[in-house]
Structure 1
Amino acid sequence: MKKQTIAIDTPFQKSDAYGALSMPVYHTLAYEFADADVMSDAFCGRIEEPDYSRVMNPTVNYLELKIKALTGADRVTAMSSGMAAISGTLISLAEQGKNVVASRHMFGNTYSLLTKTLPRFGVTTHLCDLTNLDEVRRAVDADTCCIFLEIITNPQLEVADLTALAEIAHAHNIPLVADTTAIPFTEFCAHELGVDIEVVSTTKYLSGGATSLGGMVIDYGGFPEFARRLHDEMLFNLGAYMTPHVAYMQNLGLENLRARYDLQVRNTVYLVNALRQMEGIKSVNYVGLPDNPYYELAQRQFGKTAGCMFTIDLESKEACFRFINNLKLVHRATNLFDNRTLAIHPASTIFGPFSDEQRAAMDVLDTTIRISVGLEDMDDIIEDFRQALL
């Protein structure tokens, strides 16, 4: 079946007693077993049956199975947030004395996890330029547990060569872990590019207009020890599984993702090209522009799509604040890929807790505004940008 059909018509694990067309929300914690043998088999993982909703729930499991069918993954695990997916993945791969190779170009909380939280448990991070393969080779050593990156960095919009990074990782028998939130996993095949584990904030595209908070770990099965740790330790011992109501909302979002994403991409291209001509904007950075330095690589990796996030640069921080304060239709809010168009000043918000030196090292500039494009009529959004620049 084609992906859109899979997104809608994947069969339930079991027939619903009432013939429901949408997977019901199983708001329950415990489950009745036929006998002690079945109970033991479920708890010990010998059969795929829910035993307790902190680690398995039919509504959540249905979303996992649907994404497994869409991606061809070996296992998919739904988490309570994108950060839970990232932290669960890295903790499953790392241990005291190990290190992660990553870029300085990362979402603020991911950077903080790698450079502040994990070091307290004896896990360090080798920060390097992931677009410089020689530098990556020098950074990887015998204690490296993975190479981690965002496929389009937030907010720098850098794109690294996934296939080349995978070759380096696999030469050292370690996984390439990619945060693929910027492009829906329905639009390209990360595994074909060498990615072993995808982490996704399903809060973004999948939730369908910021309806719910969630994350997903998409494991292609190349490192069996990782799968066991994620399921048997992270879910059981840390308790960051997705809730059934969130899974229900995100399953609905998955069903209409293609329609929303196609429109959002068209809106983004239309808006970006209009803003490039608008007086008062110094520059527009979008990976989907033919003159962008990452355009050809992004096209080769992700196809004819570059997501719905871009940035603009103004003259100063003061100009950015003035612009944001003047907006009447575009929303002053964080999040990405909402149904609404959103604007945020990353340096003073997401990266606000960092020092000036740290922001400079991460190339987070005071002059940059990040835009997430929604589903509105873009002529109205363009007019709002125009009046906000006056």
Structure 2
Amino acid sequence: MKRTTQAIHTSFAQPDPYGAISMPVYHTAAYEFADAAVMADAFCGRNSLPDYSRVTNPTVSFFEERVRRLTDAHDVVAFASGMAAISNAFLVVAAAGKNIVTSKHVFGNTFALLDTTLKRFGVTTKYVDLTRPEEVVAAVDADTCCIYLEILTNPHQEVADLQALAAIAHAAGIPLIADSTAIPFTELQISALGVDIEIVSSTKYLSGGGTSIGGLVIDYGTVPQFSRRLRHEMLLNLGSYMTPHVAYMQTLGLETLHVRYQRQATSALALAQRLRGRTEIVEVNYVGLPDNPFYALAQRQFGPTAGAMLTIDLADREACFRFINHLQLIRRATNLFDNKTLAIHPASTIFGPFTDEQRRQMDIRDTTIRLSVGLEDVDDLMADLVQALQA
């Protein structure tokens, strides 16, 4: 089946007694077993029966299986948030004395996790320019446990060569871990580019309407024991599994992901093209524009679409605030890839807790506004943007 069909048709692990065509929500903590032997087998992983909803739940397992089939992955584990997915993946591969090679162009909380939380436990981070493979080679050493990146950075819109980074990682015997949230996994086969572990904030495109918080770790089976440690150590010991109701909502979101994404990406490109002609705007940054420095690489890696996030730069912070305050249709809110179009000033919000020097090092400018393009008519969105710019 094609991916759009596969996203809708996945068989249940067990037949529903009432013939439901949507996976029911199993709001239960525990499960009854036929006998002690079956119960023991469930708790020790010798059968596929759920034992306790902190680590296994039929509704969540169905969501995981649907994603696994769409991605041709070895295993998929669903978490309570994108940050939970990132932190659990790091904890599988890292240990005291190890280091992670990445860029300072990562999401603010990911930077804080690396630079503060993991550092307290003896895991250090080496920050390099991931678009320069020679810097990555120089940074990797015997204690490096992984190379990590976002495939399209937020809000910088930076794209690194995944195949080049994979070659470096695999030569060193370490995994390449990539956050692919900005481009849905229905649009590219990231494992073919050498990515070993894929991380997705399912809060974004999968949720669709911004209804629920979740994250996914997608294991392509190239890192020995990775999924086993993730399920049998991290889920058991840290307890950050996705809830069944969230899994139900995101399973429904997955069914319309492809068609929603195509509309959002098409609108994002149209807005980027139109906004470039506005004299109030200093810069429009969108990798779908042919003169963008990452355009050719993005086309090769992601295909013909470039996501639903773009940024504009205005004259200064005050101009950004005036613009945001005058928006009428577009919502002043965080999150990405909601059905509604959203605008935010990253420097004062997502990256607001950081110092001026830290923001400078992360290349977060006071002049930047991030737009997440939704499903509204593109003419209505443009009209709102123009009136706010004129104001």
TM-score normalized by structure 1?
A: 0.99
Report the alpha carbon displacement of residue 275 of structure 1 after superposing the two structures with TM: 0.7
1:112 maps to 2:148: no
1:335 maps to 2:335: yes
Letter of the aligned partner of 2:233 in structure 1? E
State the distance in 2 between where 1:144 and 1:229 align.
19
Which residue of 2 is the match for residue 169 of structure 1? Answer: 169
1:44 maps to 2:44: yes
1:14 maps to 2:14: yes
Which residue of 1 is the match for residue 265 of structure 2? Answer: 265
Which residue of 2 is the match for residue 356 of structure 1? Answer: 356
CA offset digits 1:155-195 (Å, max 9, x no partner): 11100000000000000110000000000001100100000
State the distance in 2 between where 1:228 and 1:124 align.
24
Report the alpha carbon displacement of residue 232 of structure 1 after superposing the two structures with TM: 1.0
State the distance in 1 between where 2:220 and 2:16 align.
30
Report the alpha carbon displacement of residue 225 of structure 1 after superposing the two structures with TM: 2.5
Letter of the aligned partner of 1:98 in structure 2? K
Report the alpha carbon displacement of residue 223 of structure 1 after superposing the two structures with TM: 1.2
State the distance in 2 between where 1:26 and 1:370 align.
38
Letter of the aligned partner of 2:227 in structure 1? A
CA offset digits 1:319-351 (Å, max 9, x no partner): 001111111111100000000110000000000
CA offset digits 1:288-326 (Å, max 9, x no partner): 100000000000001111100010000001100111111
Report the alpha carbon displacement of residue 205 of structure 1 after superposing the two structures with TM: 0.1
The 5 A counterparts of 1:126-275 are 126-275=126-275
Q: Secondary structure at the match of 2:225?
A: helix
CA offset digits 1:256-294 (Å, max 9, x no partner): 111111111111111111111122011100011000000
State the distance in 1 between where 2:222 and 2:40 align.
28
Letter of the aligned partner of 1:184 in structure 2? P
State the distance in 1 between where 2:223 and 2:259 align.
34
State the distance in 2 between where 1:224 and 1:253 align.
31
Report the alpha carbon displacement of residue 224 of structure 1 after superposing the two structures with TM: 2.1
| Structure 2: gaps spanning 5 or more residues | none
Which residue of 2 is the match for residue 85 of structure 1? Answer: 85
Aligned residues: 390
Q: Secondary structure at the match of 1:45?
A: coil
Which residue of 2 is the match for residue 60 of structure 1? Answer: 60
Q: Secondary structure at the match of 1:224?
A: coil
Letter of the aligned partner of 2:368 in structure 1? T
State the distance in 2 between where 1:158 and 1:376 align.
26
State the distance in 1 between where 2:310 and 2:353 align.
23
Letter of the aligned partner of 2:160 in structure 1? A
TM-score normalized by structure 2?
A: 0.99
Letter of the aligned partner of 1:279 in structure 2? T
Letter of the aligned partner of 2:298 in structure 1? A
**Aligned CA-pair RMSD:** 0.6
State the distance in 1 between where 2:261 and 2:135 align.
35
State the distance in 1 between where 2:140 and 2:295 align.
27
Letter of the aligned partner of 1:363 in structure 2? D
Letter of the aligned partner of 1:146 in structure 2? C
Q: Secondary structure at the match of 1:13?
A: coil
State the distance in 1 between where 2:261 and 2:227 align.
30
Q: Percent identity?
A: 66
Report the alpha carbon displacement of residue 363 of structure 1 after superposing the two structures with TM: 0.5
State the distance in 1 between where 2:248 and 2:11 align.
15
Q: Secondary structure at the match of 1:9?
A: coil
1:385 maps to 2:385: yes
4+ runs of 1 displaced by more than 4 Å?
none
CA offset digits 1:7-51 (Å, max 9, x no partner): 111111111000001000000111111111111111001111100
The 5 A counterparts of 1:273-284 are 273-284=273-284
